[in-house]
Structure 1
């Protein structure tokens, strides 16, 4: 952009031990992060806070003087984790964001991607912890991206200074939907039976949430209040399935914390007052979620135990997932009038191991909070069930080849 450099010399920016926080997911300011990583080997040692990574900016083989932190292992952050370069903070997403708001965690340097419209600035694709991190940072550098959508609800606060501005060299990161397969379609068919007309939906990233959303085009009067929205939401809105009319709050408005998709989605949300990109305190807040009518939370898992305990974080002692907003939304859905909390997962892992297990190795969502578990083999309704009945219902939705072994592990 005229008057704005397209890169920056970080040798005058980074100090020994600095915590650098950058926008996450599709809100990553790639011009800035690429420049930082290309110069990192010549800079003092510093820490980098990342969220989900959908770019190719960060590599486990680069910049040995940089240590990475995150609240989970999502997207290309898996490469950092495999290389032993990622320190995972086991925190609910809402609490992770609240720590920055309360200055329990403080950034030294913040890198953010912003959209600009008639002199106004918007965080555009994500209204997360970055704004709160910027409030107390020593230096805030903004990448002004003309291809980023200007979204309402994510306007950059006037009291948060921007010290340097840089022009973007490329459009925002995109994340296309994954192709659906037979397993995800079968899971979606079972999950769709739990989603009534008038439900308000929350969902995550991935093939199974996409499959469930694509199976709902017949539904009526749906609402959206979610940690993220993707291209599948545009389909539902354009087909008339989503009206946001019966949510109980925010009538007529799709509410999200992040926008993760392709340029089609970005064009849809640009200056669209029917979409609000709200802060985490609102999108994940228990007081807010409890006021929503028929909030239906759709989340994934790596394992589910026979008692209903959900593991979305680790396998074989290695973190490959995240707590994220799962527990926030499960509890919010349980508190919502007519709400449902759905955990959907394939019955087996790619190597054939059962994802329904006698006991999970890490508990992300406790068994006391679990409502319904869905695999391609059916639905296990667990709310109100004793341990023996839970185990029977869980075995019934495990892969047939694993049911005898699971039955042999029964301890109830």
Structure 2
């Protein structure tokens, strides 16, 4: 069945109270989502499930009849959250995806971006997340066939999941370029890199600090990648010989990811590349899988870390500004991995000058019992196995100097 190149009309397709699920991040089917948002005011009220947003599709100006939900506040989803338009589901990413498989989240309409190869086979391309499971039980599945989306292995569209409508893409896939490192991220990266050895397997997220850490690892050898996402920096590490995936213990020679988030550079790299596998969340984030990987190093970020090691990656002043995401999945996976490390890396100071090392975090994303190493530009706090008093001393030592006295005073008072 060929893709229809005419503009799609959603009238009659969207019913009142429908849950509409669309591809997230760079897998957003922008031709479809832009048309849906443009027509939303003329449609019955419906719910929209989104993930990280790197397009300009969704904004506070969207029709008030649309209710937005997400598992976190990432990228341009912050615009919706700031306007009070985003209902956050506090869930680990692995559990959030699994809830579509078990129908705890029941999608009515699914919008997905797909790639098609020369033999007519379809691939979910840039993300193998919850969309396929959502589509299994949906009333209506609309696929945007994008000739510029890479065909990736591991993300092949299941033949038993019907596609009811095919629409030709009118836009290139969404891109997210890396942010150049600044002085603070370079200092953080230098400390974090000292914890990563030859033969380690890397997991990392989006942002300036993970990118800075990856760019500091070109001197290492036989690194592997098993991550929730990969980006342009991975292409550099493969090109320089740092990443070979030879010592992972599983998936030898294969870079494994759940999503591809970057620019046309990595999209061209992963296209029909059998050394890259875009696998389902149950595999990329599964504890039984992560525990089998050799020396898994999980690199994640935070908004705050408490003196006891508790990590907050979700809220500030009671407002959702982040996400649980896959942080706890990978922290626990790295702790279970032979020789693994779980690194939480963050600047010691927020943009307003306040300390991000605090006496107590307001929301616990990763509990103190799971924390391994905390890294700021001022050093590394090795917390695994430490008592609370020693943890506090080590955390204060990596806080910004101008905040250390106040934190010490809070510690003495406590």
Cα deviation code 1:158-209 (max 9, x no counterpart): 0000000000001100000011100000000000000011000000000000
Q: CA deviation at 1:104?
A: 1.1
8 Å contact kept, 2:3–2:167: no
Does structure 1 residue 228 correspond to structure 2 residue 243? no
Does residue 17 (structure 1) correspond to residue 37 (structure 2)? The answer is no
Alignment of structure 1 residues 259-298 onto 2, 5 Å = 259-298=260-299
Matched, 1:335 2:311: no
Return the alpha-carbon distance in structure 2 between the equivalents of residues 203 and 3 of structure 1: 36
What are the equivalent positions in structure 2 for 1:186-225 lying under 5 Å apart? 186-225=187-226
TM-score by length of 2: 0.99
C-alpha separation between the residues in 1 aligned to 2:188 and 2:116? 41
User: Do the aligned partners of 2:111 and 2:143 also contact (CA within 8 Å) in 1?
Assistant: yes
Deviations 1:3-29 (A, max 9, x none): 523421101200000000000000000
Name the structure 2 match of 1:400. 401
Helix, strand or coil: the match of 1:211? helix
The superposition leaves residues 107-147 of structure 1 with CA deviations (integer Å, 9 ceiling, x where unpaired) of: 00000000000210000000000000000000000000000
* TM-align CA RMSD: 0.9
Cα deviations by residue, 1:267-312 (Å, 9 ceiling, x for unpaired): 0000000000000000000000000000000000000000000000
Between the aligned partners of 1:6 and 1:348, the Cα distance in structure 2 is: 51
Superposed displacement of residue 333, structure 1? 0.1
Cα displacement (A) at 1:2:
6.6
Structure 1 stretches lacking a partner, 5+ long: none
* SS of residue in 2 equivalent to 1:256: strand
1:69 lines up with 2:69 in the alignment = yes
Contact residue 4 and residue 167 of structure 1 kept, 8 A: yes
Q: Residues 128 and 280 of structure 2 are in contact (CA less than 8 Å); yes or no, is this contact kept in structure 1?
A: yes
Which residue does the alignment assign to 2:153? 152
Alignment of 1:384-395 (within 5 A): 384-395=385-396
Unaligned runs of 5+ in 2: none
Q: Is the Cα contact below 8 Å between 1:236 and 1:242 reproduced in 2? A: yes
User: In structure 2, what is the Cα distance between the partners aligned to 1:3 and 1:62?
Assistant: 27
- The answer as to whether partners of 1:197 and 1:220 remain within 8 angstroms in 2 is yes
Q: Measure the CA separation in 2 of the matches of 1:293 and 1:340.
A: 10
Equivalent in the alignment of 1:238: 239
Aligned residues: 412
Q: Render the CA deviation track for 1:2-58: whole Å, top value 9, x for unaligned.
A: 752342110120000000000000000000000000000000000000000000001
Change (3 A) 1:290 1:64: same
